Structure 1
Amino acid sequence: MVQVVQPELRRVRSRIWAEWMERSRPYLLLLPALSIIGVLFGGGLLLALFQSLGFFTLLGPGELSLEAYRAAYSNSEFWTSLLQSFYIAIVATALSTVLSVGLAMLLRSANRWATLACQITLPIPHLVGIAGILMLLAPSGLIARVFLALGWIQTDQDFPLLVNDGASIGLLIHFLWKEIPFITLILLAVLRGLNPAYEQQARALGASPWQCFWNVTLPLLKPGILSASLIVFGFIFSSFEVPFLLGAIQSRTLPVYVYRAFTDTDLTRRPEAIALGLTLSAISIAVIAIYLWITANARSQVSGKRNS
């Protein structure tokens, strides 16, 4: 009896091991790369946390203290920069999302060439876009020179300030130019994957095109809109090079403020700068967590509707 059971147990163990290896193969293949990223990123984050708490600073071993966080959060420039970052991220994300929904609806039935034309700005680096904005919208830029040649303005100083301005108009224009195609691409994929029967039934029941869009299409687009807008919001909020080159000097965003604090010649402010950087990282992680939560809920709702 034992001789019969042992081979059967070995076969069961071999089958379980083979199934486990098959399921774990993608994770095992990713393990070396994830380990390197985890050590470098996690180690740097841990070292930054220790330095913000007063340990391992450039001025000595130090001792446990929350002075860096107290100094960072009690500075009015921090709150001004934080509000400026939220202002730019919220306005740019809201405008990009609204315009992208309209553009996606227009391109829904368009040919692939129109869709390709909409996506042509996606591979263009942000620095190239910044250079284009400066060449076009600066007081000495192309548009100002055209206006001057036409006699619409007397000097280049008469041209409205659209770059490095307090309202961040040039900054918002750049983000709109860059992010609208990205959100549109995501929404187009969602739109073209929708079952047309929902809209057809709504139209058959007498719904107007606007009612059909508002009550049928838009709710189905909601998960894609939320996911895309959160990705864009997180990117804009943590963006450095765009507000550094196009933003107002007197009202800096939080990433620019962190950079200025970190490059300060006063080394006693370094823990404060690291505390600011960790705060920025915490906000970015919170945005990622919200994004994952929304996508998980959207998938569960879709699977629940399909099962029902």
Structure 2
Amino acid sequence: MGKPGPEKQITPVTMHAAAQGEKHRRTTTPRLLLLLGPAVAIISVLFGGGLLLGLLQALGYRPQDGLVSLSFEYFAAVGADPYFFKSLALTFYISATSTAIAALLSVATALFMHFKAAQNRLLHFILQIPLTVPHLVVAISMFMLLTPSGLFSRLLCRAGIISSPAAFPLLVNDPFGISILTVYIWKEVPFITFMVLTVLKSMETELLEAGASLGATPMQRFRHIILPTIAPSLGSGCFIVFAFTFGAFEVPYLLGRTFPLTMPVWSYKNFSDIDLAARPAGIAIGIIIAATVIISLFFSQLLLNYSRNREARS
């Protein structure tokens, strides 16, 4: 039998250190709750209170009009409206398409920056620019650039590429939402890229080196090593982007068609209608949007927690 190793002795010093650590953990939680309490209370009142009031109005609770009974009448009316599915399909198409394209471009950009341009500060700076520009500013710029009377059409006309500005292809208020997708992709690629890049920087290189030494191709290393590593953070970022684009209003309002409308624009139209009877329907649409956003953020948080737990185990 092997010789037993020396047993770890528990000294008064180690016992005191353990007691101090346990005491620190016990006192940290109340202090943290005390520090976060005011901010959490304000957010809960503003967001939760507004959501609750909106839900009550969507259920028909309007005491100022003598309506105090709750009913799902407006939700049923919205769901029975044939326009609802057209609006839902358009909103889902814009959100899913922009998220998918942004995810693909983000993975490619993150891989290039990590393996080829890790020290390129200029590229990092350029990639951060879209994060600082509001969506509304980008939408207005896109409108001024891509409309038939915009800058690009005039430049192409001057260059003789097109006969007149009217011959410029329809990229704004078009059936496919090209300008809307362009705005979202330009804005969200840096966001997802930096989420993926953070995971790549913390990834151990031994697995990639072992795969290369065993003859694995770059595509095989990506599929079996890199992709499983970045998948939780990539999925979390995609859910966040999907939630934002699904509930965004200003970009489709400026660059979208008048029919069909996206869900947020349709909700706004109903809520701002001169007919006050249409307001509860608009709020009901807003509640549906909020529920979709909350579910997307819930899945995003699940993936983030999974990623953190896996990193802690490794």
Q: State TM-score, norm by structure 2.
A: 0.88
Mapped partners of 1:198, 1:49: distance in 2? 51
- CA-CA distance at 1:175 after TM superposition: 1.0
Does the CA contact (< 8 Å) of 2:94 and 2:181 recur in 1? yes
Q: Secondary structure at the match of 2:111?
A: helix
- For residue 61 of structure 1, what is the aligned residue in structure 2? 67
Mapped partners of 2:35, 2:195: distance in 1? 29
Moved beyond 6 Å, runs of 4+: 15-18
Does the CA contact (< 8 Å) of 1:58 and 1:267 recur in 2? no
Q: Which runs of 5+ in 1 are unaligned?
A: 1-14
1:106 aligned partner, one-letter code = F
Change (3 A) 1:57 1:274: farther
Q: Secondary structure at the match of 1:122?
A: helix
Q: Say whether residues 1:36 and 2:42 are aligned partners.
A: yes
The 5 Å alignment of 1:117-136 reads: 117-136=126-145
Identity %: 40
- For residue 202 of structure 2, what is the aligned residue in structure 1? 193
- CA-CA distance at 1:18 after TM superposition: 7.4
Q: Which runs of 5+ in 2 are unaligned?
A: 1-20
Q: Say whether residues 1:115 and 2:121 are aligned partners.
A: no
- For residue 278 of structure 2, what is the aligned residue in structure 1? 269
Mapped partners of 2:278, 2:270: distance in 1? 7
1:154 aligned partner, one-letter code = S
Mapped partners of 1:25, 1:122: distance in 2? 33
1:288 aligned partner, one-letter code = L
- For residue 248 of structure 1, what is the aligned residue in structure 2? 257
- Greater displacement, 71-80 / 61-70: 61-70
Change (3 A) 1:206 1:126: same
- CA-CA distance at 1:63 after TM superposition: 2.1
Q: Say whether residues 1:90 and 2:90 are aligned partners.
A: no
Change (3 A) 1:91 1:37: same
Does the CA contact (< 8 Å) of 1:51 and 1:57 recur in 2? no
- For residue 156 of structure 1, what is the aligned residue in structure 2? 165
- For residue 147 of structure 2, what is the aligned residue in structure 1? 138
Mapped partners of 1:21, 1:61: distance in 2? 50
Instruction: Count matched residues.
Output: 291
Change (3 A) 1:208 1:16: closer
- For residue 296 of structure 1, what is the aligned residue in structure 2? 305
- For residue 24 of structure 1, what is the aligned residue in structure 2? 30
1:116 aligned partner, one-letter code = F
Mapped partners of 1:34, 1:235: distance in 2? 21
Mapped partners of 2:132, 2:232: distance in 1? 25
Residue by residue, what CA displacement relative to the aligned partner does 1:41-83 show, whole Å, maximum 9, x if unpaired? Answer: 2222222222222212553334222211111111112211111
Mapped partners of 2:64, 2:157: distance in 1? 54
- For residue 166 of structure 1, what is the aligned residue in structure 2? 175
Q: Secondary structure at the match of 1:172?
A: helix
Q: Secondary structure at the match of 1:162?
A: coil
2:226 aligned partner, one-letter code = T
Change (3 A) 1:125 1:19: closer
- For residue 236 of structure 1, what is the aligned residue in structure 2? 245
Mapped partners of 2:291, 2:240: distance in 1? 15
2:172 aligned partner, one-letter code = V
Mapped partners of 2:145, 2:230: distance in 1? 35
1:103 aligned partner, one-letter code = T
Q: Secondary structure at the match of 1:120?
A: helix
- For residue 47 of structure 1, what is the aligned residue in structure 2? 53
- CA-CA distance at 1:229 after TM superposition: 1.0
Does the CA contact (< 8 Å) of 2:233 and 2:303 recur in 1? no
Does the CA contact (< 8 Å) of 2:237 and 2:300 recur in 1? no
Change (3 A) 1:17 1:209: closer
Change (3 A) 1:54 1:115: same
Mapped partners of 1:121, 1:263: distance in 2? 31
Q: State TM-score, norm by structure 1.
A: 0.89
Q: Secondary structure at the match of 2:259?
A: coil
- CA-CA distance at 1:189 after TM superposition: 1.4
Residue by residue, what CA displacement relative to the aligned partner does 1:218-249 show, whole Å, maximum 9, x if unpaired? Answer: 11111121111111111111111011111122
- For residue 10 of structure 2, what is the aligned residue in structure 1? none
- Greater displacement, 73-82 / 159-168: 73-82
Does the CA contact (< 8 Å) of 1:57 and 1:271 recur in 2? no
Mapped partners of 2:139, 2:212: distance in 1? 45
Residue by residue, what CA displacement relative to the aligned partner does 1:149-174 show, whole Å, maximum 9, x if unpaired? Answer: 12222222111000111110111111
2:139 aligned partner, one-letter code = I
- CA-CA distance at 1:300 after TM superposition: 2.9
Does the CA contact (< 8 Å) of 1:78 and 1:257 recur in 2? no
Q: Secondary structure at the match of 1:121?
A: helix
Mapped partners of 2:46, 2:110: distance in 1? 40
The 5 Å alignment of 1:207-222 reads: 207-222=216-231
